[in-house]
Amino acid sequence: MSHHLIKKFKSRNAIVGIVGLGYVGLPLAIRFAEVGIKVLGFDIDQAKLDAIHSGKSYIKHIPDAVVAEAHAQGFDATTDFSRAGEVDALILCVPTPLNQYREPDLSYVINTTESLVPYLRPGQLFALESTTYPGTTDEELRPRIEARGLKVGEDVFLVFSPEREDPGNPHFTTQTIPKVVGGTTPACLVVGIALYSQVIDKVVPVSSTRAAEMTKLLENIHRAINIGLVNEMKIVADAMDIDIHEVICAAATKPFGFVPYYPGPGLGGHCIPIDPYYLTWKAREYGLHTRFIELAGEINSDMPKWVVSKLADALNEREKSIKGSRILVLGIAYKKNVDDMRESPSVELMELLQAKGALIDYSDPWVPVFPNMREHHFDLISVPLTPESIASYDVVLLATNHDAFDYDMIKRCAKLIVDSRGVYLGSADNVVKA
């Protein structure tokens, strides 16, 4: 069974199913289409499917032409999960958020798997790419697949291969980012490598799905801890009247033993603010308390409050209060040059300021209308940046440092800028660093 499936992958005569066509699934589907492998996408959002069928992109950093070309090369999409039996590989790229208690919410993974399992057949690969705790593939997916009467490693091949997308990063693509793959059995691993090696330049095999799951967590926890460290350093440096960005730039000249990380108003995106808690939750099952990881999470989570306190102090010095002040938030995506709003600290900043009585607007060329979000809502559209509009606000809060902003013009026209991203180096009367 495995030899036949591997042959189909290597000859590129297979059909690949991508389940979840968001920031991970869409680029992956496009990459398979680029090499001539037919792709069938699955998603419950009809608007995404309509866009794909029209050759349009719904993710701003992915051009329409790329989606149109993929569609022309055989990339189709459906809401009909009963078509799962048509494909040779099913790759799950669905969200893995936290619940209100900061515990893993695997409902998307489990519900999607249960929607697909009735249509599985012998001779398929089932891959999970969603970030999760070690053991998920073995403990949650394998029993559900084998309850269908299919033997994993003989009839169906189960792997975990964590996504490593970095939206908006021009230096790395789906093709060039190495792909970690762990199999439930040795046969599963061989089949998984055969699939991903068709579209990824370097595939990195590991000994198990648990090792692959832990690899993704280590990558993101490493970043979360180092960002927490530099955020704490920023607070200390600020108290000592030292510019932390100047310090980081100087330290980065050391050619060994130092990697620069940069502070900000908090953590955003679907990985760094969330993934560490997947490991801390699972570690408790083993009687372990991940103190270091949780401390970094606390520091990062508190950064929006610290930025707001710096803004309040800056207004105070100008004999103003937050209440009644007109505040323009620059950038509401979670990082620069993308339209991704997931876990954006800008939203928490807006909510904290609004709760204190501020009159909030925002400007973000990547997010022209504030999107519908499950837990947050502002009935706002992006404000065009002109000298007159900037001058009309009491404070401009620089929350996301998009390249499209005219920072010289903003500095020239703003009454007060609170810079949480270190855009403005040196000192200026109307710039407060936060």
**Active-site annotation, residues:** 271
Looking only at the bridges linking them, the beta strands covering 179-183 and 156-160 are antiparallel
* 89 DSSP β-pair partners: 16, 125
How many whole angstroms separate alpha carbon 259 and alpha carbon 311? 29
How many whole angstroms separate alpha carbon 247 and alpha carbon 245? 5
Using alpha carbons, select from 29, 26, 1 the residue that is nearest to residue 15. 29
Torsion over CA: 69, 71, 75, 79 (sign): positive
Tokens of 425: 């180096």
How many whole angstroms separate alpha carbon 328 and alpha carbon 346? 11
Using alpha carbons, select from 417, 370, 424 the residue that is nearest to residue 390. 417
Using alpha carbons, select from 366, 373, 405, 336 the residue that is nearest to residue 60. 366
314 phi, psi to nearest 5 deg = -65, -40
Q: Please report how many Cα atoms fall inside a 13 Å half-sphere around the Cα of residue 158, on the Cβ side.
A: 27
List the Cα angle 156/160/161 in 5-degree steps.
Answer: 125
430 in Cβ contact with 396 (< 8 Å): no
How many whole angstroms separate alpha carbon 322 and alpha carbon 158? 54
